[in-house]
Structures are given as C-alpha cells and as structure tokens.
Amino acid sequence: MLALALFFAVAFTLASVERSQAERIQGSGSTFAFPVISAWTKSFLEFRAAGSDFVFGDIGVDYEPIGSLGGVMRLAQPEVDFAASDAPLPPEELAKLDLAQFPIVIGGLAVVVNLEGVEPGRLKLGGDVLAQIYLGKVTSWNDPAVVAVNPDLSLPDLPIAVVHRGDGSGSTLTWTRYLSAASAEWRERVGADTLVEWPKGTAAEGTAGMIAAVKQTAGAIGYMEFGQVGRAGLVYAQVGNRSGNFIAPGAENFAATAAKAAWDPERDFYLELTEVDAADAYPLTAATFVMMHKSERSVARTRRTLFFLSHALERGGEEAAGLGYVPLPEPLVRKVKDYWHSTLPGGAGL
C-alpha cells in the first residue's frame, strides 16, 4: 500500500520518539468517523473533569481528519499515537509495519443526490447503474437504466454531475469495492482502492468538500458518511445489494450487516463488510478501524491512548447512535479488549 513499510522506516529514522508524558494524545485519519471521535473527545474530557479519572488526569485528545490514507501515513510520525481508517489493512501489511488494528465503530456510506422534488430514500440505484454513472456511460437522470428501477418517480432530463473524493479515503475504498463487485468493467478499468484514477467527475476534498460540491450542483451525485447526510440537508438513495434488494442506509441495517460478519482477531479483524451476502445486507456498510504501533515505543502513551478508546467503547455508544453510527456489540468489544491484552504493550486490564 504505497510502500508504507519504507515510508515508516524513513520517518522513524528522521525523528526522535522521546515525548513528554504530559502531552496530549494525537490521532488522525478518517473523515467518516470525525463526528463521533469529536463527540468522544468531548465526553472523555467531561469524564475526567467529573473525577472519574485518577490515573491519566493530564491527558486530552487531538484528532486531525485528513482521510484514512493520510492518517495511516501520519502514524509514521512519532508524535501520532493512533490512526483511524475506514480502509483496514490485511494482516500481512500490518506485520510489515508492526501495527495492531481493531474496529472502533460501525457506520455506512450513503449515495447522495441533488435532485429537486426527490425525497430521501425514494430514488433507487443498483450497483451496475452506479458503476455506469461513474464510468461516464449513464449521463442523464432520465436515462432508461435509471428510470427502469424508478417507475414511480418523474426524473428530469438533467445531466448527472459525478462527484468523488480527491484525497486518499476509506470511503472511496468502500465505494469502489461496491462498484467493483457490481461491475466487471469497473473492476477491470478502475478497481478498488483509497485512491483511484477516476474516469470522470469532480474531485472533492474530504467529507466537507463532498457536501459542498453536491449541494452546489443541480443533478450531482456523490457518496459520504450517512450520519452527516441529514445534517447537511442532502437526499440519500436506496442501493441494490447482492440479493437484488434495494436497501436504505440506517443504523438498523448497518447493525444487521455487521452482525453477519466474521470478526477474527487472529487476522487483526480484517474484513470487507461490502462482501456480506444476505437479503437484508446494506452493501455500503463500513467500519472504522484504529491502528496503533505494537512496539514498546512508549508503554505509558499506548496505555493512555487505550484508556481513551476504552472510554469510547464502554461509554460512547449513545453518542455514536445519536450521530447515525452503530456502537460495537458487547461480544465484539470483549474481543477487541482481549486483542489489546495479547497484542499491545500496556493493553492489559482496560
């Protein structure tokens, strides 16, 4: 993945890892998870201020939403304690980088459109049609391929304005995996990754850029974290899954999809939720993963970071749900904490 192993080695050669124990925890990465991580940071400070924290009383958390790929690369810098990524790395890649990886929250992408008169959840779009749109072959909203699955809608003779992420994004990986599964042409021409060569469209930087681009352009289509769709005043579509059913994004469907996944700590929880095959699966369900160094660079800092993440897992469920995400189910939380104990220095007892 972009020669990450070499990147990490060079970064550590150039920088010292000595840090003050009073410094703040530093994280970076996913814009998808930025709203919930921000909420957890605030509640963590309130938790400490209430006198619940007697061991790590001087710590706070700073998080920079620079995209999943940027977060993983930033983890090479010694001042960064964790990366949040919607693009999990396979165990082989993690081993090269000496990283641990585990899920922290579940959510999903939504297909968003700017179509006057279309209500949220009314428009239906299958993966094959979406691939043709992003390949530049379906170019109008009243194209027969779109009309065929939306006979009850009066779709305009309006050009489709494709918007995609321009930065390295876990959302893009989820999106392009979905398109690759639905379209052999997409799979062969473009493929799936955090960064791809887009056949057409306007590049947007981060989730904020996606929101702005779609809102400003009549006929636009894009993809973004579902929890922010309502707050942004955008319209979402139902999307087709592998069973041929059209499913709307939402916490209940995200949870149902994630419940059918095989979360394996022996493989550092690596999986692709887009591959869950069930009648009610929402095919753009995604998880945000945290990545941390396994080496004992600073046991104290590792433990402090895990203390914050433990707060998120144990006390942050209500905040996650309120923002449109799905907290990890209790059995998965136990798996994650057992993984900390066996994998990370200082991970026991949290």
Q: What is the pLDDT of residues 219-260, one digit of tens each?
A: 999 999 998 998 899 999 999 999 999 999 999 999 999 999
Tell me the β-bridge partners of 202: 163
Residue 60 confidence (pLDDT): 85
The pTM of the full predicted model, rounded to 2 decimals, is 0.85
Report helix angle 330-343 to 299-315, nearest 10.
170
Q: Return the bridge partners of 24, or none.
A: none
User: What is d(CA 38, CA 52) in angstroms, rounded to the nearest whole number?
Assistant: 20
- What confidence tens digit (pLDDT) does each residue in 37-85 have? 999 999 998 887 776 554 455 568 999 999 988 999 999 888 899 999 9
Predicted pLDDT at 345? 87
What is the C-alpha separation between 290 and 126, in angstroms, rounded? 31
Mean pLDDT throughout 306-317? 95
Mean pLDDT of the chain: 90
Q: What is the pLDDT of residue 298?
A: 77
pLDDT at 54: 46
Give yes or no for residue 320 having a pLDDT over 60. yes
Q: For residues 109-130, give the mean pLDDT.
A: 98
Q: Which residues of 34-68 are buried (b: 16+ CB within 10 A; e: fewer)?
A: bbbbebbbebbeebbeeeebeebeebebebebbbb
Q: What is the 3-state secondary structure (H, E, C) of the chain?
A: CCCHHHHHHHHHHHCCCCCCCCCCEEEEECCCCHHHHHHHHHHHHHHHHHHHCCCCCCCCEEEECCCHHHHHHHCCCCCCCEEEECCCCCHHHHHHHCEEEEEEEEEEEEEEECCCCCCCCCCEECHHHHHHHHCCCCCECCCHHHHCCCCCCCCCCCECEEEEECCCCHHHHHHHHHHHHHCHHHHHHCCCCCCCCCCCCEEECHHHHHHHHHHHCCCEEEEEEHHHHHHHCCEECEEECCCCCEECCCHHHHHHHHHCCCCCHHHCCCCCHHHCCCCCCCCCEEEEEEEEECCCCCHHHHHHHHHHHHHHHHHCHHHHHHCCCECCCHHHHHHHHHHHHHHCCCCCCC
Residue 302: pLDDT band by 50, 70, 90 thresholds?
very high
For residue range 325-344, what is the model confidence (pLDDT) as tens digits? 999 999 999 999 999 999 99
Kindly list the structural domains of the chain, giving each domain's residue range(s) and its CATH number in brackets, ordered by start.
4-107+287-343 (3.40.190.10), 109-259 (3.40.190.10)
